[in-house]
A and B are shown apart, each in its own frame.
Chain A
Amino acid sequence: MRGTIIGRRALIGAALLAAAAGTATAQTTITVNGSGGTLAEAIKRVYETPFTQETGIRVRATAPVSLPKLKAMVQTGNMEWDVTELSGDFYPTVVKEGWVTKIDWSQIDPEKKLPDFARGEYGLMHSSFTEGLAVRTDKFKDGKFPSSWAEFWDVKAFPGPRSLRDTPRGNLEFALLADGVTKDKLYEVLATDAGVDRAFRKLDQIKPHVLKWWKSGAEHVQLLSEGEVFAASAYNGRLAQMKSEQKLPVDIVWNGAALRSNYMVIPKGAKHVKEAHLYLKVTYMDPKKNAELVKEMPYPGFLPGIYDHLTPDVAKTLPTHPDNLAQTFRLSDDFWAANREKMQARWNTWILQ
């Protein structure tokens, strides 16, 4: 009797173990962390579901992108994410602090299709966007509204409350552009102390007219859509949404906008590093998929061939379209990596005065 019971139990136990082991290998799930929101639906449809269909690896999407959460997970050794989106603002920080894993480019892009600047040592630069001047066209008289940073600074010709982002990154460049520095000389000037002083002095001029310094995309959308401010710096994707979905009278000014980028990184301690590399390869080395997503949100990557799959109307709205690229400047991640702390400290003091 006893022998039979033990025998049966052992059998059941073995069967369960086999099933569990079988499940584990057949159904790997990677966790891809992103910004969530309305874009998450499109990402699931265009990127994640096809990935599962092609490789059999399941994708669990999480949100939001949070730097302190990344830090906490690295420090406690409990990394939930396998891949995460990360703002270019924070890329130098995570590299310096050692919170990310090195990318093995031979697994993703052995033929070097991506341009060099998009192949980061610790991240794949997967999307670009602009932070630039946005105006409420209905709040200005005679249909004349600021179409450059110099005009944004001109409160006499274009009166009204404004908003800028609460950070030195980008604003210092805008101030210099408004002061007459040309795009190609921006970082030359900023490399000198005199140049930085010049930028802050210019910012002193606009400070009394800045109603609110925005911190998040949602904030500047709200300020513009409710008419609290007449002009602001804004993200091109958000503006596009405001125009198409909310039908608001806003306009993007490409002139003088800062071209910024986001990365996909593999956090330190990620449990499925190989699968994460595969995800990056399958998703971001496919021009068709990237073009498909760009139709939802105008944040194109740098993979050649995306424009082959887009109509001219959509192509015109993208930051990397040659017409727009000519008017924008690339925000220098290198400059900011080297000077972030210094500038941020000075900014904090300056803004509270």
Chain B
Amino acid sequence: MGQGRGPVWLLVPAVLLLLAFFVYPLAGILLTSVTEPAPGIGNFHRFFATGVYLKVFWRTVQVAFIVTALCLIVGYPVAYFLVHAGERARRLLLFAILAPFWTSVLIRSYTWVVLLGREGVVNRALQETGITSGPIQMLYTAPAVYLAMVQILLPITILTCYGVMVEIDRGLVRAARVLGASPVRAFARVFFPLSLPGVTTGAIITFILAMGFFITPALLGGRREMMLANLIEFEVNQTTNWGFASAIALILLAATAAIVLPFQALSKAPNPYRKA
């Protein structure tokens, strides 16, 4: 890196935007949560003292974890393949990954409704090929929500993993092979550890997004699949209990930060093997 700080003033517009449209509203929400309907921390107490809300909280965390794990399991190999693929295959695959990314989350969630419905494409295919005799209930179940969330978040996981993997010096893996390691060993002892910090970042981003998901559980889930964002929406729109809604929003923010920060430390581990 060069010496000195560089033109810091270039950051000023971004910082101003952040202050005006993020910090200021956040302060407003904080204020609302401790003043509406009565001053004090009543809203927070209500959230943690009621079993029902805690259930939604833990379910949100659970869903976010499972979805992130699934995204990694599916996405890591895809990113690995992308790194080692030929030019044409890579471009094709990148396009295939990015194209659905350009469609809105609402549309993508809604197409799952069409696909998974009782009279939808999947059920009809299953029945016509004789695999099942009657329609399977797929919509408004937890698996439907997981499936759709993974499909929506996968491009993000793949691209962040890919971005990191591409930086890894493949010469190192070759060196390991030359020194006698089997392909599996070379991957496990050299490539994989090097990819971890970046993969952790990808996982963190996926997790944060998953925690805040609203449309997918609303469209595809039953009552049991309700997540914190849905609860916030209910309190804003139906009961106009804005103090409580603000409290839930802050709890969501704090919980996400609390879970993510330890992992964030992991991804910053010093890496002596990176390409100079």
Q: Which residues of A contact B (CB under 8 A)?
A: 66-68, 71, 93, 161, 166, 211-213, 222, 226-228, 344, 348-349, 351-352
Contacts and interface: CB of A to CB of B under 8 A. Distances in A.
- The interface centre, meaning the residue of A67, A166, A228 with most chain B CB atoms within 10 A of its CB, is A228
A351 B56 CA distance: 12
24 contacts: A66-B237, A67-B238, A67-B240, A68-B237, A68-B240, A68-B242, A71-B240, A93-B240, A161-B137, A211-B222, A213-B222, A213-B223, A222-B113, A226-B117, A226-B118, A227-B118, A228-B117, A228-B118, A228-B139, A228-B140, A348-B52, A349-B52, A351-B223, A352-B56
B224 interface: yes
A228 B118 CA distance: 6
A228 B220 CA distance: 12
Contact of A352 (B119, B223, B240, B242): B223
Contacts of B117: 226-228
Interface string B105-126: 0000000010001110000000
Contact of A211 (B50, B119, B137, B237): B137
B252 interface: no
Contacts of A161: 137
A211 B56 contact: no
B205 interface: no
Contacts of B236: 68
A166 B140 contact: no
A67 B119 contact: no
Interface in B218-253: 222-224, 226, 236-240, 242
A228 B117 CA distance: 7
B189 interface: no
Interface residues of B, number: 22
A344 B118 contact: no
Q: Which 7 residue pairs of A and B lie closest in terms of their CB atoms, listed nearest first?
A: A212-B140, A349-B52, A352-B52, A227-B119, A71-B240, A351-B223, A226-B117
Interface of B: 50-52, 55-56, 113, 117-119, 137, 139-140, 222-224, 226, 236-240, 242
Given A212-B140, A226-B117, A344 B223 contact: no
A211 B119 CA distance: 15
Contacts of B52: 348-349, 352
B119 A226 contact: yes
Nearest to B139: A228
Contacts of B113: 222
A80 to B, nearest CB: 18
Nearest to A94: B240
B235 to A, nearest CB: 10
Contacts of A67: 237-238, 240
Nearest to B110: A222
A65 to B, nearest CB: 11
A341 to B, nearest CB: 9
Contacts of A211: 137, 139-140, 222
Contacts of A93: 240
Contacts of A222: 113
- The interface centre, meaning the residue of A71, A344, A352 with most chain B CB atoms within 10 A of its CB, is A352
B255 to A, nearest CB: 18
A352 B226 contact: yes
Nearest to A163: B140
A121 to B, nearest CB: 21
A272 B238 CA distance: 28
Contacts of B140: 211-212, 228
- The interface centre, meaning the residue of A66, A213, A226 with most chain B CB atoms within 10 A of its CB, is A226
Contacts of A68: 236-237, 240, 242
A98 to B, nearest CB: 13
A11 B249 CA distance: 57
Contact of A166 (B55, B137, B223): B223
A226 B116 CA distance: 11
B115 to A, nearest CB: 12
B55 A352 contact: yes
Contacts of B139: 211-212, 228
Contacts of A166: 223
Contacts of A212: 139-140, 222
Contacts of A71: 240, 242
B137 A344 contact: no
A166 B56 CA distance: 17
A351 B231 CA distance: 13
B266 to A, nearest CB: 34
Nearest to A213: B223
